[in-house]
């Protein structure tokens, strides 16, 4: 981001915080890889946003998502000074991670990331560690993957379904949408996590499903019916919807808005944003008939897309979500019955 874009982003965030009397806002430094900009550049962005928001009485919580290849002790010391929490992308052990996450010369990145993670997870910077993000690869053993991630003592793990939709199904869903390979991958991890004598870590997907089953709203856009509360500002100042929508088609995240021309509130008038604010009204007829509708929420918005009718469809992961959620629901109901002395 140029200095002019950074200044304008900061003023727009402060403008929005003032208009809605927000006590806090969350800023996520994302990419691509944000550390390609350099730690000092990221620090400049956070400082400028905090300075602008302090003038309107709003606190800024900052975090970043990184592959950790460039995360060193100097960067961590700077992020500690600014209280920037750090999430790291890692797909399991060396074999699992290095299948997809390689350098340009073909070398795997696991050893470099593990070295950075040791600095973050075992030393004085552990309080900055937000957790690990792991994209599910069906070729990797689920429990082996989970145990490999636990080696880094993460406070949380987020297992992500690979991006796909009805026109471009994810791996393992090409031939038969009724198959449940992703639920089958996740269920052994859930049962192990649930049955552990002490909490090993938070697993975001499982925790959000349990929250929804207990009547609380979801805090994740991947599950439930909570309205979307996030916008992306690209490096040139373009305002977009979630960049996950880029997996659907060219321009799917486009809003036509720009930081130099438009306040953030203008996004609330756009049909694509409205569809992500109205909850159950945006779901397909199939979803309306489903007994886990309010928990599933048709999954991640991008995963619903089909060329014929846009986003008004069940998730391409519909069968997986149904199997996963009903399994967790059965365990939750059993736990609740035990607590109430019914069994």
Summarised one tens digit per residue, pLDDT across range 108-145 is 999 999 999 999 998 899 999 999 999 999 999 999 99
Mean pLDDT check: name the lowest of 4-8, 43-47, 123-127, 132-136. Answer: 123-127
pLDDT of residue 343: 63
Summarised one tens digit per residue, pLDDT across range 60-73 is 999 999 999 999 99
Strand order in the sheet with 202-203: 24-29, 59-66, 84-89, 129-135, 156-160, 202-203
Q: Which residue has the higher pLDDT, 47 or 251?
A: 47
The proportion of the chain whose per-residue pLDDT surpasses 70, expressed as a percent, equals 99
d(CA 60, CA 53): 7
Angle of helix 318-339 versus helix 181-195 axis, rounded to 10: 20
Mean pLDDT check: name the lowest of 186-190, 214-218, 291-295. Answer: 214-218
Summarised one tens digit per residue, pLDDT across range 286-297 is 999 999 999 999
Angle of helix 204-213 versus helix 181-195 axis, rounded to 10: 80
Split at pLDDT 50, 70, 90, the class of 238 is very high
Summarised one tens digit per residue, pLDDT across range 280-324 is 988 999 999 999 999 999 999 999 999 999 999 999 999 999 999
Going by their DSSP bridges, the two strands 254-258 and 232-233 should be labelled as unpaired
Asked if pLDDT for residue 83 goes beyond 70, the answer is: yes
Q: Which two tokens stand for residue 227?
A: 């309205």
What is the torsional sign of CA 70, 87, 299, 22? negative
DSSP structure string for 55-95: TTT-EEEEEEEE--TT--HHHHHHHHHHTEEEEEE--SSHH
Summarised one tens digit per residue, pLDDT across range 251-279 is 889 999 999 999 999 998 998 888 888 88
Q: Model's pTM, two decimal places?
A: 0.93
Q: What is the rounded average pLDDT of the residues 224-237?
A: 92
137: left (phi over 0), alpha (psi -120 to 50) or beta: beta
């Amino acid at each position: 981001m140029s200095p002019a874009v950074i200044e304008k982003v900061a003023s727009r965030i402060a403008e929005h915080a003032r208009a809605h009397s927000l006590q806090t806002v969350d800023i996520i430094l994302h990419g691509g890889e944000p550390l390609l900009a350099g730690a000092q550049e990221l620090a400049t962005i956070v400082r400028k946003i905090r300075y602008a928001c302090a003038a309107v009485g709003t606190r800024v919580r900052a975090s970043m998502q990184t592959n950790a290849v460039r995360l060193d002790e100097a960067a961590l010391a700077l992020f500690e000074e600014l209280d920037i929490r750090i999430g790291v992308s890692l797909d399991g052990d060396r074999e699992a991670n290095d299948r997809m996450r390689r350098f340009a010369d073909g070398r795997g990145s696991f050893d470099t990331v593990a070295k950075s993670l040791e600095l973050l997870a075992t030393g004085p910077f552990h309080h900055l560690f937000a957790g690990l993000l792991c994209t599910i690869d069906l070729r990797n053993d689920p429990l082996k993957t989970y145990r490999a991630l636990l080696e880094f003592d993460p406070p949380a793990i987020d297992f992500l379904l690979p991006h796909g939709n009805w026109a471009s199904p994810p791996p393992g869903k090409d031939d038969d949408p009724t198959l449940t390979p992703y639920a089958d991958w996740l269920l052994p991890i859930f049962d192990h996590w649930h049955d552990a004598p002490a909490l090993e870590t938070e697993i975001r997907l499982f925790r959000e499903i349990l929250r929804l089953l207990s009547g609380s709203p979801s805090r994740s856009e991947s599950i439930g019916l909570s309205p979307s509360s996030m916008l992306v500002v690209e490096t040139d100042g373009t305002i977009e919807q979630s960049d996950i929508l880029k997996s659907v088609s060219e321009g799917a995240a486009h809003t036509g808005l720009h930081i130099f021309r438009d306040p953030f509130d203008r996004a609330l008038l756009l049909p694509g944003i409205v569809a992500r604010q109205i909850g159950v009204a945006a779901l397909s007829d199939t979803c309306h008939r489903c007994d886990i509708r309010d928990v599933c929420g048709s999954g991640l918005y991008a995963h619903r897309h089909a060329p014929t009718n846009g986003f008004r469809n069940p998730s391409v992961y519909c069968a997986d979500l149904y199997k996963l959620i009903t399994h967790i629901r059965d365990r939750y109901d059993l736990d609740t019955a035990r607590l109430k002395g019914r069994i």
